[in-house]
Structure 1
Amino acid sequence: MSKNNRDSSELFYSFFSLFQPKQVKEAEIEDEWKAHVLPHSSIRSLAPNLWQITGILSSLIAPREMVIYRLPDSTLLIHSAIALADREMQQLEALGTPNILIVPNRIHRLDARVYKQRYPNLKIVAPAAAKPYVEEVVPVDAIAEDLLPDYGIICHQPEGIRPQELVYEIPLSNGKALLFTDILFNLTEAYLDTYAPCSKFTLRWLGAIGYFGITPLGRRFFMTDKIIYRHWLEKLADRVTPLQVISVAHGEPITVNCDRQLRQAADRLS
């Protein structure tokens, strides 16, 4: 990646790292969790031992997604944490004890610190490339590439993408799931009508609505080689079988024809 592209990518990351919940005084620290709770959906099942929640940061930008996965030891792995209201946190805890929190990149770190405060034994995990940026808000206990294989999770390093995040291959009872973050979106009309209808004008102007794939902004700021990235997505579709679920940080999860849809995302780069 050229120096100019690196500099513009840094500006892009910095812009999307500006969003913060309202600040609380030290004397009100017990209310800090509540300050992080923004509108969100209920917890919904994607597959056995796999759940997802949609959070709304603003009615004008794309919603975000949090994934909960029950590990073989019955504890929970959380990907891209969202602070939830009391009822949903009780439901989450009924699923298992939070054990691992993946902070997937430097943008999706907003609620990591309050999760660590709430669950002191929670392991904060980040990709090696994201660790210095995650540690600006919360200490990192382990590198994803080192720890997660011990739990049967494969960490895929995207090719043709600036080092920033990983794709996680999660074993399910009936196949596999892939957890993406920002290098693929799936902002369908129905999804936005449900969670952020006011964002549709801006997102349509940005060319981000109506398809599963990398967005124009993703191409501009994340992608370093279109051909290499396309081939990498194709290899992922071939190797991860049977693929039952694809989750992205922004958009509707895919639970039907996952391998075909992953190949179609690759074809859009042709």
Structure 2
Amino acid sequence: MEPRRKGSPTEVFYYLNSIVKHRQKSVENWQSYVLPHSNIESLAPNLWHVTGTMPNPMLPPREMTIFKLADGDLLIHSAIALDSETMTTLESLGTPKIMVVPNRIHRLDATVYKQRYPKLLVVCPSAALPYVEEVVSVDGLAEEVLPNYGIVCHQPAGIRPQELVYELPLSPGKALVFTDILFNLTESYLQQYAPKGKLVLQWIGTGGFFGITELGKRFFMSDRQAYRQWLEELAANTSDLHVICVAHGSPIITNCNQKLYEAAARLL
């Protein structure tokens, strides 16, 4: 594991992005965490997503992925607090059982989810453990817990230790869930969910394509060639790939393997 250098540009970037807070933060009040968001939308059998805004409109919108496990309960990746009607819809899909806090940045609503669902199993990648535990108690490591539910945890090559990519079994096919190492902020997505921040996000290189952003290259990527090759191998070895979910941007539901090759080609 690459050592973390306190005060390095990467550490400062992680820190600044991990301290985003709600304007009216009250751990006793779920509603104070709710920001504008979409309805729950189906991506495939047993797979859904929600798009939510951020407290700062200059930040990119975020995505929550909801996956129904084989036992009928739900896994929630990168949790977003939803209004009461949408939470009722979520609970109609199944009982929230596992919450994946995917990295040290995506912790915004983890605390209130655990308070709402005390039996929720909180997991995160080992690299994120000390940072996630600053806001919520962690019950297990994603690498150790999720394979018990048929989920493959991929460790990205060429990326500083921070997050995993999750391969979910669909019926039929598979889905891949990314967090911050690939974005898909299309023009229409930004116009719908971040109209005030669209120009700024495009200017800093986070919009208009599927791939790692300019900021991601600067602060997340440690080896450009290794990451490119890893994406190509992931595309080649993930058969019957039906869906790609990202934490920022539109899910991809067509030509998924080709999209991964295209994201890799952007690194040539």
Aligned match of 2:107: 109
Equivalent in 24, 32, 37 of residue 35 of structure 1: 32
Q: Secondary structure at the match of 2:67?
A: strand
The one-letter code of the counterpart of 2:67 is: Y
In 1: Cα distance, 2:149 partner to 2:7 partner: 34
In 2: Cα distance, 1:257 partner to 1:104 partner: 25
Provide Cα deviations, 1:136-187, integer angstroms capped at 9, x if missing partner. Answer: 0000001000000000000000000000000000000010000000000001
In 2: Cα distance, 1:269 partner to 1:5 partner: 28
Report the Cα offset of residue 197 of structure 1: 1.1
**Fraction of identical pairs, as percent:** 60
In 1: Cα distance, 2:48 partner to 2:135 partner: 26
Q: Secondary structure at the match of 1:129?
A: helix
- CA separation of 1:114 and 1:261: change in aligned 2, threshold 3 A: same
Aligned match of 1:265: 263
Say whether 1:68 aligns with 2:66.
yes
Q: CA RMSD in A?
A: 1.5
Equivalent in 175, 179, 184 of residue 181 of structure 1: 179
- CA separation of 1:91 and 1:153: change in aligned 2, threshold 3 A: same
Report the Cα offset of residue 24 of structure 1: 5.1
- CA separation of 1:134 and 1:123: change in aligned 2, threshold 3 A: same
TM-score between both structures, scaled by the size of structure 1: 0.95
Aligned match of 1:255: 253
Equivalent in 41, 46, 50 of residue 44 of structure 1: 41
Equivalent in 56, 66, 72 of residue 53 of structure 2: 56
Worse-matched range after superposition: 3-12 or 160-169: 3-12
Aligned match of 1:90: 88
Q: Secondary structure at the match of 1:42?
A: coil
Structure 1: any 5+ residue segments left out of the alignment? Answer: none
The one-letter code of the counterpart of 1:187 is: L
Aligned match of 2:126: 128
Equivalent in 218, 231, 234 of residue 232 of structure 2: 234
Report the Cα offset of residue 198 of structure 1: 1.3
In 2: Cα distance, 1:91 partner to 1:23 partner: 25
Aligned match of 2:135: 137
Instruction: Tell me, yes or no, if the aligned pair for 2:5 and 2:11 is still in contact at 8 Å.
Output: no
In 2: Cα distance, 1:4 partner to 1:234 partner: 30
Instruction: Tell me, yes or no, if the aligned pair for 2:25 and 2:33 is still in contact at 8 Å.
Output: no
Structure 2: any 5+ residue segments left out of the alignment? Answer: none
The one-letter code of the counterpart of 2:267 is: L
In 1: Cα distance, 2:221 partner to 2:96 partner: 33
Q: Secondary structure at the match of 1:130?
A: helix
Report the Cα offset of residue 4 of structure 1: 6.9
Aligned match of 1:220: 218
In 1: Cα distance, 2:108 partner to 2:83 partner: 16
Aligned match of 1:119: 117
